Structure 1
Amino acid sequence: MAAAVARRRRTVTGRIGALALRVVPAAFILILFVWPIGALVRRAVTTADSVGIWELLERTHALNLLGFTLFQAAASTVLAMVVAVPMVWLVARVQIPGSLLLMVIVTVPFVLPTVVVGVAFRALFDGPLAGLHISSGLWPILAAHAFLNVAVVARIVGAAWRSLDPRPAEAARTLGAGRLRAFLEIVAPRLMPAVGAAAALVFLFCSTSFGVIIVLGNGEIRTLETEIYTQAIGYFRIPEAVALSMVQIVVVVAALLLTRMFTAPAGSDGARAGRRLLPRGRQWVPVVAAVTWTVVVLVGPIAVLALRSVRPGADGAWTLDGYRSLGSSVNGVTPLETLRYSLTTAALAMVIALVVGLLAAVSMHRSRGWWTVAGNVVTTVPLGVSAVTLGFGYLIVLASLPSSVSSSPLVIPCVQALIAIPVVVRIALPALESIPGRLRQAAATLGAGPMRVFVTIDLPMIGRSLGAAGGFAFVMAMGEFGATSFLARADTTTLPVLIGSALNRPGADNLATAMAASMLLVAVTTLAVIIVEALRPRTGGLL
């Protein structure tokens, strides 16, 4: 009798726990994502002055903006795929000393604040590449987008290639096929799903790019993303901004659907994956060439930024004025104060993202059928939705709330956490699925309840993965610019927002301050990525 009561109690407790696992992430996403997007939609339906949405789109030349947004995203994607080819080969097929450093070099650009990347490429095209006379405009934007997104290509395609069963290609070589023919006819077709998934993600990120275009567009390049900001903040034309946001949401949803089409596995078999090449003799020639390409493409812009931060003027004079100015006020706040605030909010956002993301991952792991699919979609959408669109939605929602809520110190960390939650889920869910079921069954047989099984079995085994997820959440929160730029006030300015503000102010001193502050963010981001790479289990994938 007592045993039956205990079993019934465990069943009830398990159901309550399962419900809580679903309710907390669902409520967080409902409030922080669905509500502001819903507010945008409602505002679009009830636009002022009885003006229809089609007239608003005509006023803002939305079709032209849409066409250019898609064009630059497609061109950026092609360039990123081409630039990443040697890096994919290094990551997938070559084993060399310093592999950890290589992965750090590949990963850092992806998690750098986009405004910092914009500053770095402005320094590059105003400095060593000044002879090209393209310091702003389309080409610098495409180059910066490729720089930002090669990590997506290298990690997705590299992981897929590394996990392929090598025996079909080896059989083709045995039958007389050359190395190139074996790759083109056997390996390349099996990599196409991974290539498609990487290209779709890069296209998604480039179509919602904001910081890069703001910095490098010089006010001449306009996309849906930048025009939403201009209409809402620059001109305070709310109906026009809402109409453009609706177009942007359609683009994002279409890109997400395209991404989902390519998420099928590439026929990998990790147990039979081929060994990576240990170069010898002449084999070092392509390896050195690929490493040199990687360093030039990914380290070069940051090195130029570091140089310009101490030599900002056209006269070539060396100075530390940019770094000294970090203690001076910019729009009422010093860069060092914004760094402290950015570190605090990023740490808080990391904790929120870890808690909500882990609950969502556990719920999806324990669920089956439609709930798993729905959870995957819901937790992925915030990663791709335009940060500017989201920030505009927050602006509308917060205007209707009491000041005690709209000015809460938790607003910005929660917004930053929302962007990072998909990354936490993508890391934690595979880690949970890799835990042998027999361990949980043995603990349950010995009388452990679901919570105790999770604390004593699951958490210790996914600890490294959670550490990596927390690191990625921290650097993503640290560099968030689009949504935060809508919400920041004088006392809640983050370092990326301050850099953008300094760039908009004339004078060499403000440029030097922006570059020095950018180097601060580069240092913090690089340190975080090194820690993440040291903690991350070697399971492949995007992250």
Structure 2
Amino acid sequence: MSRSVNRGSGARLALLAAPLLFVAVLFLWPVGAIVARGLTSDGPGAWDGFTGAGGLGLVWFTVWQAAASTALTVALGLPLAWLTARATFRGQWILRVLATVPFVLPTVVVGVAFRTLFGPGGALAFLGLSETVWAVLLAHAYFNVSVVARIVGGVWAGVDPRAERAARTLGAGPLRAFVTATVPALLPAVASAAAVVFLFCATSFGIVLVVGGSRFRTLETAVYQEVVGAFDLRTASLLALVQIVIVVLAVTLSAVLRVRASRPSAGAAPHRHRPTRGGRIAVAAGVPVSAVLLLFPLAALVQRSLRPDPSGAPSLDAYRGLTADFGGVVPVKALVMSLVTAAQAGAIALAVGTLAAVAISRSHGVLSRFADAVVMLPLGVSAVTLGFGYLLALQSFPAVRESPAVLPFVQALVAMPLVVRVLVPALAAVDPRQRQAAAVLGASPARVFATVDLPVIGRSVAVAAGFAYVITLGEFGAASFLVRPGQMTLPVLIGRIMSRPGWDSAALAAACSVLLVAATIVVIALVEGLRRGESGRAEF
């Protein structure tokens, strides 16, 4: 018996070897390079260097805009959570797809969409919000509303409605019954979603860079500007260190709240029901309004891409420009590079994440918690900080720095935690007795996984692969530091196009964004189709 236990522990450690090495090389090394440059370089002390760079103001604006964006996102996301998780109506899965699309869109695309909406000639230009903090907040809310809908909706679907019905029977009005019976069950999920949204808004790069223009700077954009504009690596390192501290605190809070936001009863069927008369009115009004709000920024992109000349008739000139040279890069070739790089990064993330998920699901106690904490470490540093860390770490290794393999591995590191989060709940649902029976009959661990686990988690693997693909397809932060002229990805090219003035540049950026949106929607529609066939184990 002891030998079998030892063999089992050895197998779990062997499974963890690749993910641990992956995180050690691709995460700890660049972060260590940032710490070394920020704290040990010649010059003024760390605090003096930080304050001299306007660090206190950057921290204040980063935290303030993240908190304001979070509050706005939660307010807009709760009605969408009810529509996608609690009510029942025809075509609900279409709304779920639309609600998922904003979060998996490249941040630079969301930035271009809102800059188009509020900028000169935009549909909402009359509001005067171009390059204002309100434009940044609204873009963040649009990008993150899916997080609230998924996290809160997942819990809301499992809340037993009988408690609210009992309160109504005892004389409570609809509002009081909802507040006293349902809200307490939702509060942990709302807090968890808010913590996740705050994390994403505090590390926002593409949206602030494109929508905020030169008026607003967060720690993320300041790091990029210090490196690219001033080439002040030490100041960038100090700012990145402070950003790491803020993100680690946000991740810790998110992890604590995430545990408290666990679904009321594991495996319980969702409590969807036909709405009451008031609910039917809410559905009839809410569905079209939600669909319009989710599609409106994307429609603005399409409209701008068809108007390369503000005074001319609609044309396809911007799309013809996709095959022309722009600063030494052809947009169509950049799209192909994005698709290839995303496929490579997604495959790496899926392979390493699957190994980690299997080890975590089959471990217990300290080993399971340790493994889970290690593979989640990449969430503790933003993609921009990672990209900058690699820029520092690879200074002494020019051959590695110029290798086309660097970018896919870095993007895989960004996507791996998502793969683990999708697969661990699915693996936990596999009956361990089936594994034991297969092992007794002489099946090897690999064959046990292929014949017992894989048929159960196959859909979850496909979902994880789809999400990993779209996340890496639109990755912008790390790629901004790591791409080379012959390896230009479309999100980075869009950012560079937007930095050039002119209506024709805006139209070309919109056309490039439409391509990325189309690719993203196709993948997400396939993923959502797979999720419809699942029992709801996979988490957002």
TM superposition score category, shorter chain reference: over 0.9
Could you tell me whether the CA contact under 8 Å between 1:164 and 1:272 is conserved in 2? no
Whether the 8 Å CA contact 1:86–1:294 is kept in 2: the answer is no
Q: CA offset at residue 15 of structure 1?
A: 4.9
CA contact (8 A) 1:69 1:224 kept: yes
After TM superposition, the structure 1 = structure 2 runs for residues 26-45 of structure 1, keeping only pairs within 5 Å, are 26-45=20-39
- Shift of the 200–541 alpha-carbon distance from structure 1 to 2, 3 Å rule, reads farther
Question: Equivalent residue of 1:209, what SS?
Answer: coil
Confirm whether residue 20 of structure 1 aligns to residue 3 of structure 2: no
Go from structure 1 to structure 2 and tell me whether the alpha carbon gap of 1:205 and 1:175 turns closer, same or farther (over 3 Å shift). same
- 2:485 paired with 1:490: yes
C-alpha separation in 1, matches of 2:66 and 2:267? 37
Alignment of structure 1 residues 368-407 onto 2, 5 Å: 368-401=364-397, 403-407=398-402
Aligned to 1:107: 100
Give the AA of the match of 1:213. Answer: V
Is contact 1:165–1:273 with CA below 8 Å preserved after alignment? no
Q: Is 1:330 the equivalent of 2:326?
A: yes
- How far is 1:370 from its partner? 1.7
Contact 1:165 1:270 in 2 (8 A): no
Kept after mapping to 1: 8 A contact 2:87/2:272: yes
Which residue of 441, 449, 455 corresponds with 2:436?
441
* Mapping for residues 400-415 of structure 1, pairs under 5 Å: 400-401=396-397, 403-415=398-410
The amino acid of 2:151's aligned partner reads I
Q: Which runs of 5+ in 2 are unaligned?
A: none
Q: Map 1:82-481; keep pairs closer than 5 Å.
A: 82-126=75-119, 127-263=122-258, 264-266=260-262, 268-269=264-265, 275-279=271-275, 283-315=279-311, 317-401=313-397, 403-481=398-476
Q: Contact (CA 8 Å) 2:425, 2:537: kept in 1 or not?
A: no
Amino acid at match of 2:16: R
Q: Distance in 2 between matches of 1:38 and 1:167?
A: 53
**CA distances 1:273-296 after superposition (whole Å, capped 9, x unpaired):** 563132476643210211122112
TM-score after normalising by structure 1: 0.95
Is contact 2:306–2:316 with CA below 8 Å preserved after alignment?
yes
Q: Deviations over 1:245-278 (max 9, x none)?
A: 1110110011111112212145612566563132
- 2: CA distance, partners of 1:123 / 1:148: 15
| Unaligned segments of structure 1, at least 5 residues | none
Determine helix, strand or coil for the equivalent of 2:272: coil
**How many Å apart are 1:511 and its aligned residue?**
1.5
- 2:369 corresponds to which letter in structure 1? V
Tell me how far 1:397 sits from its aligned partner. 0.9
The match for 1:62 among 52, 55, 79 is 55
Q: Which amino acid aligns with 1:203?
A: F
Q: Tell me, yes or no, if structure 1 residue 539 matches structure 2 residue 533.
A: no
Supply the distance in 2 between the matched residues of 1:12 and 1:541 (Cα, whole angstroms): 31
| CA shift in 2, pair 1:400/1:274, >3 Å | closer
Once the two structures are TM-superposed, the CA of residue 102 in structure 1 deviates from its matched residue by 1.0
Query: Which 10-residue stretch deviates more, 93-102 or 116-125?
Result: 93-102
> What amino acid sits opposite 2:90 in the alignment?
P
Say which is worse superposed, 465-474 or 92-101, in terms of deviation: 92-101
Q: Is the 8 A contact 1:190 1:267 kept in 2?
A: no
2:494 is matched with which residue: 491, 495, 499? 499
Number of aligned positions between the proteins: 535
In the TM superposition, what whole-angstrom CA distance separates every residue of 1:392-433 from its partner, at most 9, and x where no partner exists? 1000011111x3322222100001100100110001100000
Over 3 Å counting, the alpha-carbon distance change for 1:272 and 1:516 in structure 2 is: closer
Q: Which amino acid aligns with 2:111?
A: G
TM-score, structure 2 as length reference: 0.95
The secondary structure found in structure 2 opposite 1:462 is: helix
Report the secondary structure of 2:160's partner residue. coil
Residue 517 of structure 1 is matched in structure 2 by: 512
CA-CA distance at 1:215 after TM superposition: 0.5
Partners in 1 of 2:265 and 2:308 — Cα distance? 52
Letter in 1 for 2:536: T
CA RMSD between the two structures: 1.8
Distance change in 2, residues 1:120/1:542 (3 Å): farther
Tell me if structure 1 keeps the 8 A contact 2:304–2:506: no
